[in-house]
Structure 1
């Protein structure tokens, strides 16, 4: 597994640990972003997930352009599904 995929999986585990141990009060309190903007914790967590999705997708696109086989995110790739499909 490449370093970038390792870091993505590690961050996902840390996120789950924090998220599932948090109370409603924890999620509704305010925090500061690195840009020093005040935001509720639940909105910040949502933004982190969206940001990870964006970077993971970009990584997959660049690796695909370099013809590097990437691990599947969800089930079969389009090519694998097409090979298994019935031709009409």
Structure 2
């Protein structure tokens, strides 16, 4: 995703993904609905949700919804779609 704005992602159920975050002041969340609050954060299989520095790990559950979103908490334009496939 580096150097690509708001890239859409496709992830596979049962796989583990690590996101390297270096965005002080920009908490990173995986969400069940689009938007820039953390209220709808998707936390199943997610380690270090809201990371600003370091890593966020996402072990995609077998029963994950078909569509999730990623966002930075304070900037609604910094968002993208995560398609979940088998």
Class of the TM-score when normalised by the shorter of the 2 chains: under 0.3
TM-score (norm 1): 0.23
TM-score (norm 2): 0.23
Structure index of larger Rg: 1
Q: Which has the higher strand share?
A: 2
Q: Which has the higher helix share?
A: 1
